[in-house]
């Protein structure tokens, strides 16, 4: 199965420097980013291996990933202090 990669640098290439800076300076951003990365890795592994999982469970995981991505994006757009 062809799997799209959803790491933050793929999703927001224009914010690459900001992602790096926020990971180093904000524990909250770093924690959310780690959660996002772990969830993305799990989803991609399930999709790559055609693992047996209920569609609803996979969709819930994807919804959680979108929620995390929205939070991270809002932090990336916030003006620097």
For 32-62, what is each residue's pLDDT tens digit?
999 999 999 999 998 888 878 888 999 999 9
pLDDT of residue 39: 96
**Does residue 74 register a pLDDT over 70?**
yes
| Cβ contact 33:19 at 8 Å | yes
pLDDT for residue 81: 61
pTM of the shown model: 0.87
Selection from 56, 31, 58, 33 nearest residue 46 by Cα: 58
Length of the chain: 81
């Amino acid at each position: 199965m062809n799997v799209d990669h959803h790491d933050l640098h793929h999703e927001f290439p224009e914010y690459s420097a900001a992602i790096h800076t926020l990971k180093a300076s904000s524990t909250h951003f770093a924690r959310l980013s780690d959660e996002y990365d772990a969830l993305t890795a799990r989803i991609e592994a399930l999709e790559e291996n055609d693992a047996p999982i209920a569609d609803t469970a996979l969709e819930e995981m994807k919804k959680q990933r979108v929620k995390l991505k929205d939070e991270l994006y809002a932090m990336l757009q916030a003006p620097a202090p």
